[in-house]
Amino acid sequence: MDNHGVRRHTYKEAGVDVKGAERAKGRMGTLTATADPRVLNRSGAFASLFLPRFEGIDDPVLVLKSEEPGSKQQLAFEHGQIKSICQDLIHHLVNDIVVMGARPEVVLDTILCGRIESETVLAIVEHLAEACRALGCSLVGGETSEQPGVLAAGQYMLNASILGVADRTRIVDGSRIRPGDKVVALASNGLHTNGYSLVRRLMADRPEITQETIGEMSFLDAILLPHTCYYKPLRGWLGNAAIQGMAHITGGGIEGNVKRILPAGTTARIELGRLEVLPIFSVIQRYGHVPADDMLQTFNMGVGLVVVVEAAKVAEFTGDLKMSGCQAYEIGDIFAGQGDVQFAGELPA
């Protein structure tokens, strides 16, 4: 109140601490420091400056994507899994451009929160930057926004955008897929970033599921594993003519995502019995009495990425990926058809 009894309204009293936010943001520059000479601006600039020089790419095409980790982030923040959800976000982004034949270059992040808690925000930036550096790209800037009244104190919503680059002659968009090609699965390590609305509902309805163990992990640890990134094992195959198409298996499952890359006149037939379904999915299906078709539509079922490969190169491709620590195995074929995905057989019991 002032001397006349009139209430004085301030931004801080309304829930936004500008000075506190500035102190936190001032420490971000160290966390996002990069040795990439193409990043020209310093931390705190109004926008990020990036010099478009791409070594080894003669005819560069920029490949852009934005992503957010869905309702998984709510579980992650509730259980202190900040590093995991940051890796999820970056790995998902990178996978989405890798399937186009691109390599990652720079990332911009957005952190929305009800109140800027300095240590949490700095941990998010640190882990995002680490995840980027591990994949050869840089976190070059972004936005941190305190939004009281929109989000409660302690609540966070993450988003990020990536810029990648591909050689125009080596873009992978599925247009080269032909009958006779083989469909290869690259194994996931769990749910990745899809199906969490169903899982959270199941945890609320049947909380005893959280007492399950998956191998040597608790149920919570199993569902919060960070998304597998396929860039490193696939890097040597980007631009190889044997790779006809790639699909990141996210929302919509195998059918919904493989369908996105099939050209007219082709059909993918997947042998369900060949899928190496992870135990976490069997637990979810059992507790939720989830129909098999709904499991296939909601979850990746152990298949994180699908690669359509020229038949003569399948053995070399799968062998090379296995040497890189990435389990890869054949699950189907491409036939003449109507641009759809057909399932044959049943999921393993």
Q: How confident is the model at residue 19 (pLDDT cuts 50, 70, 90)?
A: low
Q: Which DSSP letter does residue 4 get?
A: T
Average pLDDT over residues 247-254: 96
224 close to 72: Cβ distance less than 8 angstroms: yes
Please give the C-alpha separations between residue 252 and each of 53, 96, 209, 292, 301, in angstroms, as whole numbers: 36, 14, 24, 14, 11
Third-level CATH fold of 182-344? Phosphoribosyl-aminoimidazole Synthetase; Chain A, domain 2 (3.90.650)
Average pLDDT over residues 253-260: 97
The percentage of residues in the chain with a pLDDT greater than 90, rounded to a whole number, is 82
Third-level CATH fold of 18-170? 60s Ribosomal Protein L30; Chain: A; (3.30.1330)
Residue 2, SS3? coil
Q: How confident is the model at residue 29 (pLDDT cuts 50, 70, 90)?
A: low
pLDDT for 187 equals: 98
Q: Which DSSP letter does residue 273 get?
A: G
DSSP letters, 172-198, are: -SSTT--TT-EEEEEE-SS-TTSSHHH
Q: How confident is the model at residue 6 (pLDDT cuts 50, 70, 90)?
A: low
Quote the mean pLDDT of the chain: 91
Residues 6+ apart with CB under 8 A from 141: 32, 41, 43, 45, 47, 48, 108
Pick the range with the lowest mean pLDDT from 12-26, 70-84, 105-119.
12-26
Highest mean pLDDT among 10-14, 33-37, 159-163: 159-163
pLDDT exceeds 90 at position 97: yes
CB atoms within 10 A of CB 269: 16
For residue 113, the cross-strand partners are 146, 156
pLDDT for 82 equals: 96
Tokens of 8: 């004085």
Residues 6+ apart with CB under 8 A from 240: 313
309 close to 178: Cβ distance less than 8 angstroms: no
Average pLDDT over residues 18-40: 68
113 close to 121: Cβ distance less than 8 angstroms: yes
pLDDT for 35 equals: 78
Q: Where are the domains of the chain?
A: 18-170, 182-344
Q: Which DSSP letter does residue 330 get?
A: E
pLDDT exceeds 60 at position 299: yes
Average pLDDT over residues 244-271: 97
Please give the C-alpha separations between residue 108 and each of 53, 77, 121, 187, in angstroms, as whole numbers: 18, 21, 15, 28
Q: Which long-range contacts (CB under 8 A, 24 or more apart) does 270-273 make?
A: 270/183, 270/331, 270/332, 270/341, 270/342, 270/343, 270/344, 271/331, 271/332, 271/344, 271/345, 272/296, 272/343, 272/344, 272/345, 272/346, 272/347, 272/348, 273/345, 273/346, 273/347, 273/348
Q: Which of 227, 343, 323, 215 is nearest to 274 (CA)?
A: 343
Chain-centroid distance of CA 9 in Å reads 42
Helix (H) or strand (E) holding 161: strand 156-167
Question: Tens digit of pLDDT for each residue in 108-148?
Answer: 999 999 999 999 999 999 999 999 999 999 999 889 999 99
Number of DSSP helices (H) and strands (E) in the chain, helices first: 12, 12
Q: How far apart are CA 47 and CA 44, in angstroms?
A: 8
Average pLDDT over residues 78-101: 97
